[in-house]
Chain A
């Protein structure tokens, strides 16, 4: 039986594959940036509520039997306390004007930003990375 093994040394195709993935990721980031984040929508098992990002507040939310504390401060929304088993929502990047989302799978909690894509549709970018 023929034994198929990869090349022992890095090849040109390795670098081409890496370059394609990197280019894809950077283009996706570049084109998804833009617009202003005005509010966040919190979806829990009791329903959906929208909160403005420019007003500081602390929310206490229960979803799927778990309790969460969501803090909106300085235009950023983050889960500061949660009693869910994995706690991944607490370490997720806060939602800010660039968008983002915080998902807690065990409790079925979803916090997402509502970005107006006006700027992006007009073909203007916030920043251009040379």
Chain B
């Protein structure tokens, strides 16, 4: 009798693991699709900041971090970066993206566990975008070994406030079930 209970328990945990893996893969696909979408928009012609991006993939990372877990968010983030590196970019932009993304991921802990419900997704997204850009700037400072890149700092902060604000507004108004809310509940 006892044996049967433990085997049915392990079967249900296996099913739950499989569900989680499938959900994680769906999140990676979504994040990658959004990265690809924004890579198709010629921002370089509109904004005179090198490597300017909206950061749409951050919508997925924020959602996973808040509605799922920090661990899944980190896995989705790393898979997304690795895939977009293989598909569309080169090693230097990968290093820049990695430093920026990891710093912006760290900022989510501050937003979730310190600022909690005192801010909305707009604040979460703005803080995360500012951290992301500061990470990229730090990478640029390290790679060039010169302080000249500091010239871009205020413009990067401005860009982060605008783009982070925009993605934050999207996050605020997204219908809750867009990101597999029902599937999450059944896990």
A residues contacting B by CB (< 8 A) are 4-11, 13-14, 17-18, 21-22, 24-26, 28-29, 32, 43, 85-86, 88-89, 91-93, 99-101, 103, 105-106, 110, 112
Contact = CB atoms under 8 A, between A and B. Distances in A.
B93 A99 contact: no
A9 B51 contact: no
A4 B66 CA distance: 7
A26 B148 contact: no
Contact of B127 (A8, A17, A25, A91): A17
A9 to B, nearest CB: 6
Contacts of B112: 4, 6
A86 B92 contact: yes
* Chain B, interface SS category: helix
20 contacts: A4-B66, A4-B113, A4-B116, A6-B120, A6-B121, A7-B119, A10-B120, A10-B122, A13-B118, A14-B122, A14-B168, A21-B130, A24-B154, A26-B154, A28-B154, A28-B157, A88-B50, A91-B45, A93-B49, A106-B90
A69 B148 CA distance: 21
Interface string B89-106: 010110010000000000
Interface residues of B, number: 45
B120 A14 contact: yes
Contact of A103 (B49, B120, B126, B149): B149
B160 A28 contact: no
A21 B126 contact: yes
A37 to B, nearest CB: 12
B126 A32 contact: no
A17 B146 contact: no
Interface in B157-181: 157-158, 160-161, 165, 168, 172
B172 A21 contact: no
Nearest to A92: B50
The 5 closest A-B pairs by CB, nearest first: A101-B148, A14-B123, A28-B154, A25-B154, A93-B48
